Structure 1
């Protein structure tokens, strides 16, 4: 058995295996599909289902649906989860969800329509169904949706020996748990002890004497982003969840908190790119266009501001045609610098490393960096412009415009997300559009304005 397990761990999903699975599916060879998929981890099987097309996915599920379990369902991306659930025979779906912890069932239900939700709820045992329905009653993206109801608790006066005896006799324990939570008679958590401390302590030791200093609780209504921050900030492994009265209602484990952090990072990246926080490679062309078109329209409007600035200097450009070739250099370099500053600021706001307390220091740091970068680029561009066009005045204009735009880019990259955050808006949502517009407009204005004053 150990040898089989080791062999399973060595098998990874690669293109050759995907091609072999697709060939077996096309041939309708269920035995070959079984042989190819059986050694794979649930996460790899989920990846395979995500990477193949909808037609191949449905054909694969027809041949292999009897092997789908709860772990695979929980690993499948939200983008195709509903499609997979609809393709599964009812008896397979019922059996699969019975293997899941309540937090995984809640995660599964959130992405499904009501008919599929009803099927899954009916498949659960009464206690699990009540727990899931109670969790679904909490606000979306809250700790109550994230927690699992399977909790290992012990009275605060128990000894290590009593706790170990209880764990050995318990009929149902979570598949994974890290702490035994101590509660008072009113079911309010007062501390927790790690399994390692329990197993390494004598039987007569009091649980209250081996509790962890990291103990803290979260409210069931707290935003899941705040929960993820607490896990990351205080290096938690698990965290009890309490209701308004302070009574224990569940626990959140580190794997769920890290999933939230990953989702937050992904959403920030997609929003900075202006493609929406739900964009996926599994989306169709129409859906992709719908997600991107609004931001392209917004960008079209902001780009018109740059065009208006340029139009005010038509005479200058007509007199010195070389300016038309050089002005995109200043604007584009400023745009890149603004994006660099913006990415750092948005990430720092998300992780709460950038706050009102240190905002002034960060702004001054960005200003200093903008000045230094501007001086360095001005020297390079000024010398190059003078040599190429044989006019040191033109090189001077290029250098001065570069310094101005680098300062604007550095300040805009941090001030725009700070302002949006102060107004209660997501800093990643539209900061990129505003910063790019700012650097373009100021870049063209500085370059053409200085050219008008100095060269003409």
Structure 2
């Protein structure tokens, strides 16, 4: 040995290894985390994709996006600016499968489809299940629909045209055409052989539908029963005859309620004559439940569709009409205040406390209205129990009113004067009881008129509570002799 420091020798060996391996190995690009702890795409990942798109490095874009789940790829399109989405789509064209398309936000999907030819849209539609293809095509303009349908194969075109003949948001639009249906005279062994030998059958199903000669469903047979039953047993001895049948014209919200009520995994869809024409599965219902819940919450506020990807002009049209309606209802409350203008001038404390009365009543009304709208949506509030529910909410309102009135009345008596404390306490009780009544009555009235009970009910409930709050408070103040 030459006596060189062992540490330096080790360092020399490391440098030789790095030099032999080349510069690419020595400076490996750090891996970017795709998802955070909440399974959301990280900011660093999104920015890396955007930078690669801006540089025109399609290979880099593809390598970054390829490991993602289809749902995450759809989220990525929503997170990048609209002007960058076409270039992103071109860079990962091979990854734009039917699974990704079905997960895309409808507004983002429409933007991408505007740049595609009818033939390209048709090719995407042919990759999808019938219900997903219908959801894709139904949002297109009539002219675009006809152009896309013309590019489809005869079988796919016939299935989609048939689905489009049903009302929007109905079971007919939602259902899948691919299912397994067999006659009831066969045995379990015959069924197993049929499932194994017929390569054209759908590969994803949970139960087999048993039909009569007219193709009307007479029962269902779960796959677990089939696998555990001897081959010589007739299907009619194994199948479950009680089943929930879904009319093709039934609204999708009602379909979701039936799945929830009867704990269904799948259900047969029948036409007006009772013939089996499709099935709906639980995975379809998950989307419907989320969609309907979000829709009701947004409609209660008059926010329209409430999608952050919705074009600005559409958002404006949906929201401004309810703001104008709210302006009109607010004028009613203003007229009540104006009628007591002289009293307010003599006792400034009235002006100070008026917003308190109105705010408490408005919040109480919103609480009751939210409960009522949910009960109507879940079929818990019907004509059979409307009076009972109304009386229940009135009792809750009375208890809330007395509690809040005691607090605000006591504070007002200490800060201003005892009589004013009594006046505001009575006004609060009256307004909260009115809010309870309005919170039930307004949604029920909308429902009786065959209108969505969530549609801007808050605008009318707020008008009632504000008007009653001001009228009760100012009227009691005048009647009590606080002002003359």
Same topology, TM > 0.5: yes
Whole-Å separation in 1 of the counterparts to 2:280 and 2:102:
16
Whole-Å separation in 1 of the counterparts to 2:344 and 2:467:
16
Q: How does 1:195-344 map to 2 (within 5 A)?
A: 195-212=223-240, 215-276=243-304, 278-344=305-371
* Cα contact 1:86–1:116 (8 A) shared by 2: no
Query: Mean Cα displacement is larger for which, 369-378 or 13-22?
Result: 13-22
2:211 is aligned with 1:183:
yes
TM-score normalised per structure 1: 0.93
2:437 is aligned with 1:373:
no
Q: 1:91 and 1:127, CA in 2 relative to 1: closer, same or farther beyond 3 A? A: closer
One of 436, 439, 443 as aligned partner of 2:469: 443
* Cα displacement (A) at 1:286: 2.9
* Cα contact 1:151–1:250 (8 A) shared by 2: yes
Q: 1:93 and 1:110, CA in 2 relative to 1: closer, same or farther beyond 3 A? A: closer
- Which structure's CA Rg is the greater one? 2
* Cα contact 1:66–1:92 (8 A) shared by 2: no
Q: How does 1:127-166 map to 2 (within 5 A)?
A: 127-166=155-194
- 1:111-165 residue CA offsets vs partner (Å, 9 max, x unmatched): 1124543454345432222111111122222221111111111111122111111
* Cα contact 1:81–1:111 (8 A) shared by 2: no
Residue 13 of structure 1 corresponds to 41
Residue 5 of structure 2 corresponds to none
One of 373, 397, 412 as aligned partner of 1:346: 373
Whole-Å separation in 2 of the counterparts to 1:139 and 1:272:
24
2:426 is aligned with 1:405:
no
* Cα displacement (A) at 1:91: 6.4
Whole-Å separation in 2 of the counterparts to 1:188 and 1:198:
21
* Cα contact 1:237–1:253 (8 A) shared by 2: yes
Query: Mean Cα displacement is larger for which, 36-45 or 114-123?
Result: 114-123
One of 453, 475, 480 as aligned partner of 1:427: 453
* Cα contact 2:125–2:136 (8 A) shared by 1: no
* Cα displacement (A) at 1:210: 2.3
* Cα contact 1:327–1:447 (8 A) shared by 2: yes
Aligned to 2:280, the other structure's residue is in SS state strand
**Structure 2: 5+ residue runs without aligned partners?**
1-33
Whole-Å separation in 1 of the counterparts to 2:42 and 2:180:
40
Aligned to 1:429, the other structure's residue is in SS state coil
Q: How large is the Cα RMSD of the aligned pairs? A: 2.0
Aligned residues: 447
* Cα contact 2:62–2:92 (8 A) shared by 1: yes
2:110 is aligned with 1:110:
no
* Cα displacement (A) at 1:209: 2.2
Whole-Å separation in 2 of the counterparts to 1:286 and 1:124:
33
Q: How does 1:65-84 map to 2 (within 5 A)?
A: 65-84=93-112
* Cα contact 1:279–1:291 (8 A) shared by 2: no
* Cα contact 2:59–2:91 (8 A) shared by 1: no
Residue 3 of structure 1 corresponds to none
* Cα displacement (A) at 1:261: 2.2
Q: 1:261 and 1:213, CA in 2 relative to 1: closer, same or farther beyond 3 A? A: farther
